[in-house]
Structure 1
Amino acid sequence: MSAKVSKFMSSPSKVFYTAALTIIVIMLIGTGFDWQISQAIMDQNSWFGTIFQDFGLWPIPFIIILSSMVIINYAWRSKTMPWFVRCSMILGAFVLSGWQLWANYLKTTVYYALTLNDNIKKGLPVGQANSDGGNLHLSFLGNFAIWIIIYLVIFFLTQIWLSHKSDEQMDYLVKVAVVATLAAIVANDMNSAMKTYWGRWRPYELAGNHVNFTNWFQPNGANDHMSFPSGHTTAAAGIMLLPMFVDRANVKLQKITFWLGLAYCILMWASRVRVGAHFLTDATSGLWTVWFVFFIVLSITGMHLVEWKKDPILSDHNI
């Protein structure tokens, strides 16, 4: 094998092709045995499944919030830009990040947490919840108090982190912020559209009755059932953008962030099948559809999650 071929088959290519092959195999297994696998391992009393269900939706909102914090810091530093441009950037980033924290994380998480408490009181399975149409909520003051505390903590911690960045590092991070936000929003919107159009029943909704079961490749149209693809694994997949925010010179930390992010995705994937909220193919599709969007966006922009090696051949692989 030539040195060029050897390099081609090193870390980036291995990760990409291994992941692609694994996903194809899992989808094939789920195509034939979705129902049987779900019936064998589903348990709505699983605390593993419940914890990830209730509190694990943070990655995509966090990526957009982190990107907004970068924009705020960049605009504050950029004294040469017109004041109205800087103000627009700062105001827009504040609004976007605040909305993401509430609408795409806290709103659902508060509902799940209240449902968990209600389930315990009523002696119901701890993981029994329906985010597609729940109505438990806190008062306005309760919601605002949680939101403002978390937002301020994120704001001050990120600004302290960004204050140590050089102007050159900020030039890179602002590009990451734009690309990561685009990738996250496109992936999230695509997932929402697919869930509505596919109309697949969730395992727990079927309650052991095979009559309304359909395979993942069979869209049913909008019918208020939203199992395919998994929104939780879609959100979890967003964490794979986090290595982009690590300094490009610190390849070791980029790799650590990458592998920890992948581990989180796998845990979320397993938890959704375990708690009976999704079939195997639902959970898997929530991951691969998002990663596919990320792959396209990064390929177009020429950016990388991890600078695996300082090598021109490897730098062509946008993963």
Structure 2
Amino acid sequence: MSTQAKSPLLRNFLIAAVVLLIVASFGDYQISKTIMNQNSIFGTIFQNYGLFPENLIGFIAGQIIVANGLKRDIPVISKVLLVAGGLAFAFWETLHAVDNFLFYTYSSIGNVKVGAALGAANNDGGAVAYPHSLQIVISVIIWVIGSAIAYQWLKNKTEKSLQYLTTVAIAGVAVVYLSEAIVDTMKNNWGRFRPYEIFGNVKDAHFTAFWHQNGVNGHKSFPSGHTMAGMLAAFLPFFVERKNVALQRKMTIVTIAYGVLMGLSRIRIGAHFLSDVTVSGTIVFALIFLSMQLLGYRFVEESDALAVDALEDNAFQANYDFAKI
């Protein structure tokens, strides 16, 4: 398939982002002041339980590594290392996902006990105590069930399909870590106060436009970390078989919509301004789109079966050539 085909999805996404940033340039402050509600159920649900896409990508990647270890004709020691390493990586991602939702869940429980807003949370590193034994138990349960599901999904994959998924898994992990590095670096250096700090009369909190850098001061509104995690869901369509165009299309719509809803939830709960979520979502979407286009893949492939076969052959040949090095 030609990678030169028109890509209206990226173009339309960037146009929407530019329009939203123009609106944010004039309305960031007033929009947040008007719709912010830290008792929002919508905002709290996404805050507490919506971060999982970034860990799900890593979990799936780990399971694909396991499948390679089980199915490849390689030395036993290599098989053992691949299976053990893949399972360990998947468990590590599960631990992080569970840590996130327990942190925010216990924060919400604490808020209710003291009469604070349900969704009030120290998004910049506050300590919340929860039983770490609970984290381990929940993580093990999710890991075991998820591993069993992944095994059923991967056990009958052809060698070419598994090679394709391996390429996607490596790209997915790279996109996640690059997204985190960019967003976290910007957050630390921008020093933008969050809406709930400004409207909550936090000492010295003041509004600054999104293009204004305050420097390192411990405040991390710009860009949005939650929106980054939510928009990473848009990578998931690439785990769909390239011949299943209908499912690719559905997954693309659902996952992009999820990222958008995450951004809206962050504005609603007062954790971020419109510009915070727009820039974050745009960074992640562009990274996903461009990295996969470099590999020759699109969110929704052409329905030409021969073209799709060529894509899988390219992935197979790339992995075969790498194996000979």
Normalised to the residue count of structure 1, the TM-score between the two structures is 0.89
Partner amino acid, structure 2, of 1:252: A
Match of 1:262 in 2: 256
Q: Deviations over 1:189-235 (max 9, x none)?
A: 22111111111111001125596211111122221111111111100
Structure 2 CA distance, aligned partners of 1:211 and 1:84? Answer: 57
Match of 1:3 in 2: none
Match of 2:95 in 1: 102
Query: Secondary structure of the equivalent of 1:18?
Result: helix
Structure 2 CA distance, aligned partners of 1:121 and 1:44? Answer: 15
Structure 1 CA distance, aligned partners of 2:191 and 2:59? Answer: 30
- One of 115, 119, 124 as aligned partner of 1:127: 119
Structure 2 CA distance, aligned partners of 1:286 and 1:69? Answer: 28
Structure 1 CA distance, aligned partners of 2:215 and 2:75? Answer: 49
1:154 aligned onto 2:146? yes
1:133: Cα distance to partner? 2.1
Match of 2:236 in 1: 242
Match of 2:163 in 1: 171
Partner amino acid, structure 2, of 1:126: L
- Answer yes or no: is the 8 Å Cα contact 2:38–2:120 preserved in 1: yes
1:82 aligned onto 2:75? yes
Structure 2 CA distance, aligned partners of 1:140 and 1:244? Answer: 34
Structure 2 CA distance, aligned partners of 1:290 and 1:148? Answer: 30
1:13: Cα distance to partner? 2.8
Partner amino acid, structure 2, of 1:175: T
Change (3 A) 1:186 1:121: same
- Answer yes or no: is the 8 Å Cα contact 1:39–1:208 preserved in 2: no
- Answer yes or no: is the 8 Å Cα contact 1:110–1:137 preserved in 2: no
Match of 2:85 in 1: 92
Query: Secondary structure of the equivalent of 2:221?
Result: coil
Q: How does 1:181-220 map to 2 (within 5 A)?
A: 181-207=173-199, 212-220=206-214
1:33 aligned onto 2:27? yes
Q: Percent identity?
A: 32
Match of 2:316 in 1: none
Match of 1:48 in 2: 42
Q: How many aligned residue pairs are there?
A: 303
Structure 2 CA distance, aligned partners of 1:137 and 1:215? Answer: 35
- Answer yes or no: is the 8 Å Cα contact 1:108–1:131 preserved in 2: no
Change (3 A) 1:122 1:308: farther
Match of 2:223 in 1: 229
- Answer yes or no: is the 8 Å Cα contact 1:206–1:213 preserved in 2: yes
1:240: Cα distance to partner? 0.7
Structure 1 CA distance, aligned partners of 2:144 and 2:205? Answer: 49
Partner amino acid, structure 2, of 1:248: R
Q: Which runs of 5+ in 2 are unaligned?
A: 312-325
- Answer yes or no: is the 8 Å Cα contact 1:54–1:112 preserved in 2: yes
Query: Secondary structure of the equivalent of 1:164?
Result: coil
Match of 2:51 in 1: 57
Match of 2:295 in 1: 301
Match of 2:317 in 1: none
Structure 2 CA distance, aligned partners of 1:306 and 1:68? Answer: 24
- Answer yes or no: is the 8 Å Cα contact 1:42–1:273 preserved in 2: yes
1:236: Cα distance to partner? 0.7
- Answer yes or no: is the 8 Å Cα contact 2:10–2:289 preserved in 1: no
Partner amino acid, structure 1, of 2:180: N
